[in-house]
Structure 1
């Protein structure tokens, strides 16, 4: 896969060279702007190039702690690009030709919080008003060095048009792996994307009834927060409420909304109950103990999905009792949002919501300091211009930018060819940039959680991410055609370090998977042979069978996983048992079984990750449920959250 991409990079770079005019005076013509994504907002070309060498150093200010940390990582990234790792030196005075100087100058107000001044001459200077600006200047250098061995002399003062350049990931219900999030953040930083919305459940200590798989432990959330800080990304966490809150309400029926017929709605919180508000804010408070963020997103979308307020007459009664006889059910909804806003403001956070619940039927106003993310363009929903006029900051989160597992995929070609910008919403195109239009984001949803694997989602997101980076940073289109834009994106590739993880560490072949989990491992049932191989029979649960000679054919898949076929049969290890959410079997303790092998999209649960462990051993993790094989009762192989029971550790013994 890497060889194919490198070949494509060479071909793409050659095509770009052919497109560059060549004349007799080329030796004295100013250098054209380097082709990077996002493109530079301006460029003044010099003549000639600067080559980094073994003598190149990175110089930083003595007390610039954050820039020094970034410089150490930048040096490692440059080694991947050039083969040389520059030494990082504190102090700027002794710069010599070929050095890189990284400098923060708070007086450079023209650069804002994220812009940078990149001056490529005998010494390469990167100046920002903040460490983030300096960091983004280094991303431009890395992109240039992805397609050429030298830096073109010249200068750019490159400042983004929009302050929010975002990506959204709904890790709601399902668990998206930490490794996937790190690769995403690394690539986001490479493209100067700066905001990551994550809808994810924090494993709660206060509300144990909300705990089932799909959650993130508090330590995992702390790791996500640390990664975001490393890559200069702002996190926006969400607990969706008061609709789509079924991941939390399953064991709290007394808080569920009840319709006129007495039917409980497990996905809707009863906004008329004080204890429902207390429950939600309690979850928020616990989550904010570990999320490092200036924001809180409460969702507020699709509360009345598939029905209407008329089915819940007590909401109208509640609204009129609280706000008078002219009140509407939407007043109760807006009031609930405003009360959540007051609560998160008391925690020093800014509230964000989706736009679709705002139909303008409320008599009390929505607090104007709430940021509204506009995705729904139905005619009865307030338009972006109306939200801006009401004093809200508004983000373009259009449905056209969605990526849905097993469903809708954004048409990046169409967006590029029609010159899409964040001014174009689903139901309105603004005629000019409004100061409260914050930017745009693409959003990834798991509506059919087994429709695509994580690796497939990465491939699908490659061009949308690059297009969004281009349009939100605000530079000119770097190519006339979309095909040329794809060629440029492939030539620049991913961020350094993105491909360092070998996702298929073992070659195809036949193996015995022998359990070598250490004795005394946490919560593993006692008894059984610790060296028992993993074995199974068609129609029965897989297990750890002492003395078994069972073997497995390890079959690599095109998206970077494996299928495990029981040798001599046509059945493969899978997880199909237990309760499902978004079509994904997520029940803890469900057994792994064998079914007929298939490469069909509906059988993504047959795909496995081999996660390296100590001593060359591996763990088997299902690619869809993201749960590992674990030894259960009676030595049955089951899936269990790794923080609740130690995953089985296997030695893969090759047999051919």
Structure 2
């Protein structure tokens, strides 16, 4: 019960005592009983009908599941119950008894939709849905309830989301984001009934090895993450931004870089007038299809001419007029590239998604209908116009951004304003029709501005808020503090790992590997990493070309520098390994190896085997 409810009850009690003191003979006024509050979950249960008694989870509890679909959902629930400390629960067929949990998928329950569920709690607890996804979400609610105790108040809820797409976007496109961090994110998303993770990232390419500058993930890493997403009903949509922001892919392909009228190459811009550029980009789409199973492809399509002008690139106007006639604009060439990618992905059975800011209105050619537009910036073409043009519309407003080392979404302010997915940058729509949903976005504009663990601190409240605003009532509690208390009550998802734990105590250690050794003071940082302080200073990665203020090149040296507590490049993760620990930089996510000439250098683990340091 929130503070406001307690105050109202206190006021009624004081009033009743005052009346009694004035006239003992007067009959006491009737006081209406308060409706029992719905159990605490995130998102909140909007439809709760209480009943008498409670459900008790105990040592004799079983998961009753008859069909293959039900057994699959029950198997995931059993694993999560064990991970959450609730013991091993058997999955059995047949009749349910008191204390059991029943999973039931009934396709005829069409009113529940693809993701809704009914939960009933009494002597036993049942989750009923029309699909396995709906049943899975019912089990997330159950896990949240059990996180608060072994008894669940008796009652019934029918819980159906308002929006189809409820998501998070992560740019792991320059700064590498560790796989354990991403796995935590998938589990947390599922726990809060979010279903879509956009990942802008680089997968190590077999087709184009020249593109394998650092920041990539191996295909096996992605396959494992996608499998986790599938098990937890989180669709992981890949993005390779194009035709702008392609420098991670074009660094070693000057032949495909857009060249201005002065002969200057633009390493972040793909030359959309060249057939080879389209072939290159679509070959990357094909390679990503080897590891991603999503039914959508995100091509970004934002900020192609950021800080520049089409007039500096006359070949673009020529291409547009050669293709669409004398009235065509340079913007038409850009739209043409988007539409060609749309046609290509559609031929592969995938729907195209783009950002909105490239749709400036300075074009005669329209983006193909059916292309989902993710609206983040207020430009000339408004959300209502995009809907009228036949585009599914997702709200990815800048107000929902968390920029590493920069702007952070004001989650409390959005909650107090009762923000919902109809509120776009520059326009609020009257209806939900045509809006697919909304998401928060994480960008690494200042890559060394914050560590992953620091980002997580701001992420979890924002994640719970977007889950609430896209699933149900965006303002279920009177105050933001009461809403935050919901998150505290349900805690983290089963299987979530505390990445701030340091495996050794602070103190002086001798680090040994091979024939090298050094002595250093190890001290835990507030965000869960360590500093490694030698007699000459704190170990830091420095050198090479900076990308987003970070030295991301393999082979860059790690050496002692003047200690600076604010310098995130001096923070290290001690990653347990057989016989010792690996030293992994908190920002670059590369491990320290020893070069042939005895220097300490950073490398991706698949490029050079990381040194295993024995600490004594």
Q: Which band: TM-score by shorter chain?
A: over 0.9
- The answer to whether structure 1 residue 59 and structure 2 residue 64 are counterparts is yes
In 2, Cα distance between equivalents of 1:512 and 1:17? 59
- Change in CA separation of 1:252 and 1:183 when aligned onto 2, cut-off 3 Å: same
Partner of 1:559 in structure 2? 527
Contact 1:39 1:476 in 2 (8 A): no
Could you say what secondary structure the match of 2:168 adopts?
Answer: strand
Per-residue displacement from partner, 1:178-222 (whole Å, max 9, x unpaired)?
Answer: 000000011001100000000001111111221111011111111
The more displaced of 470-479 and 365-374 is 470-479
In 1, Cα distance between equivalents of 2:31 and 2:590? 59
In 1, Cα distance between equivalents of 2:570 and 2:454? 15
In 2, Cα distance between equivalents of 1:338 and 1:77? 43
- Change in CA separation of 1:194 and 1:26 when aligned onto 2, cut-off 3 Å: farther
Within a 5 Å distance, the mapping from 1:425-440 to structure 2 comes to 425-434=424-433, 436-440=434-438
Deviation at 1:323, TM superposition (A): 0.7
The more displaced of 551-560 and 143-152 is 143-152
Deviation at 1:303, TM superposition (A): 0.4
Could you say what secondary structure the match of 1:633 adopts?
Answer: coil
- Change in CA separation of 1:124 and 1:168 when aligned onto 2, cut-off 3 Å: same
Instruction: Pick the aligned partner of 1:468 from 457, 466, 469.
Output: 466
Partner of 1:598 in structure 2? 564
Partner of 2:26 in structure 1? none
Partner of 1:75 in structure 2? 78
After TM superposition, the score normalised by the length of structure 2 is: 0.94
Could you say what secondary structure the match of 2:78 adopts?
Answer: helix
In 2, Cα distance between equivalents of 1:268 and 1:329? 15
- Change in CA separation of 1:280 and 1:76 when aligned onto 2, cut-off 3 Å: closer
Deviation at 1:28, TM superposition (A): 8.8
- Change in CA separation of 1:241 and 1:488 when aligned onto 2, cut-off 3 Å: same
In 2, Cα distance between equivalents of 1:417 and 1:343? 43
In 2, Cα distance between equivalents of 1:365 and 1:500? 48
In 2, Cα distance between equivalents of 1:623 and 1:69? 37
Partner of 1:419 in structure 2? 418
Deviation at 1:150, TM superposition (A): 1.1
Partner of 1:490 in structure 2? 488
Within a 5 Å distance, the mapping from 1:250-289 to structure 2 comes to 250-289=251-290
In 1, Cα distance between equivalents of 2:500 and 2:303? 40
Deviation at 1:557, TM superposition (A): 0.6
Could you say what secondary structure the match of 1:395 adopts?
Answer: strand
Within a 5 Å distance, the mapping from 1:565-604 to structure 2 comes to 565-566=533-534, 569=535, 571-600=537-566, 603-604=567-568
Within a 5 Å distance, the mapping from 1:42-441 to structure 2 comes to 42-64=47-69, 67-79=70-82, 81=84, 83-89=86-92, 91=93, 93-378=94-379, 380=380, 382-434=381-433, 436-441=434-439
Which runs of no fewer than 5 residues in structure 2 stay unpaired? Answer: 14-29
Deviation at 1:16, TM superposition (A): 9.8
Per-residue displacement from partner, 1:385-423 (whole Å, max 9, x unpaired)?
Answer: 101011110100000000000111000111001110000
Per-residue displacement from partner, 1:514-556 (whole Å, max 9, x unpaired)?
Answer: 21xxxxxxxxxxxxxx2x343xxxxxxxxxxxxxxx3111100
Per-residue displacement from partner, 1:472-500 (whole Å, max 9, x unpaired)?
Answer: 00236231011221222222221122145
In 2, Cα distance between equivalents of 1:403 and 1:243? 21
Contact 2:100 2:125 in 1 (8 A): yes
Aligned length, in residue pairs: 599
In 2, Cα distance between equivalents of 1:474 and 1:305? 37
Contact 2:58 2:150 in 1 (8 A): no
- The answer to whether structure 1 residue 636 and structure 2 residue 604 are counterparts is no
Could you say what secondary structure the match of 1:634 adopts?
Answer: coil
- Change in CA separation of 1:631 and 1:208 when aligned onto 2, cut-off 3 Å: same
In 1, Cα distance between equivalents of 2:490 and 2:7? 17
Deviation at 1:596, TM superposition (A): 1.1
In 1, Cα distance between equivalents of 2:4 and 2:96? 33
Could you say what secondary structure the match of 2:431 adopts?
Answer: coil
Could you say what secondary structure the match of 2:74 adopts?
Answer: helix
Contact 1:173 1:214 in 2 (8 A): yes
- Change in CA separation of 1:481 and 1:94 when aligned onto 2, cut-off 3 Å: same
In 2, Cα distance between equivalents of 1:80 and 1:337? 45
Partner of 1:39 in structure 2? 44
Deviation at 1:594, TM superposition (A): 0.7
In 1, Cα distance between equivalents of 2:607 and 2:31? 66
Contact 1:503 1:610 in 2 (8 A): no
The more displaced of 108-117 and 285-294 is 285-294
Per-residue displacement from partner, 1:293-343 (whole Å, max 9, x unpaired)?
Answer: 111111100001001212212211111111111111111111110001111
Contact 2:370 2:391 in 1 (8 A): yes
In 2, Cα distance between equivalents of 1:222 and 1:579? 31
Which runs of no fewer than 5 residues in structure 1 stay unpaired? Answer: 1-12, 516-529, 535-549
Partner of 1:618 in structure 2? 581
- Change in CA separation of 1:17 and 1:642 when aligned onto 2, cut-off 3 Å: farther
Deviation at 1:578, TM superposition (A): 1.7
Contact 1:210 1:251 in 2 (8 A): yes
- The answer to whether structure 1 residue 646 and structure 2 residue 576 are counterparts is no
Partner of 2:17 in structure 1? none
In 2, Cα distance between equivalents of 1:583 and 1:269? 23
In 2, Cα distance between equivalents of 1:248 and 1:505? 37
Deviation at 1:139, TM superposition (A): 0.9
Could you say what secondary structure the match of 2:143 adopts?
Answer: helix
Contact 1:570 1:597 in 2 (8 A): no
The more displaced of 630-639 and 439-448 is 630-639
In 2, Cα distance between equivalents of 1:215 and 1:334? 29
In 2, Cα distance between equivalents of 1:263 and 1:117? 61
In 1, Cα distance between equivalents of 2:338 and 2:438? 23
The more displaced of 98-107 and 257-266 is 257-266
Per-residue displacement from partner, 1:341-382 (whole Å, max 9, x unpaired)?
Answer: 11111111111000001012221221001111000113x2x1
Deviation at 1:50, TM superposition (A): 1.4
Contact 1:37 1:191 in 2 (8 A): yes
In 1, Cα distance between equivalents of 2:509 and 2:202? 37
- Change in CA separation of 1:460 and 1:632 when aligned onto 2, cut-off 3 Å: same
In 2, Cα distance between equivalents of 1:77 and 1:265? 49
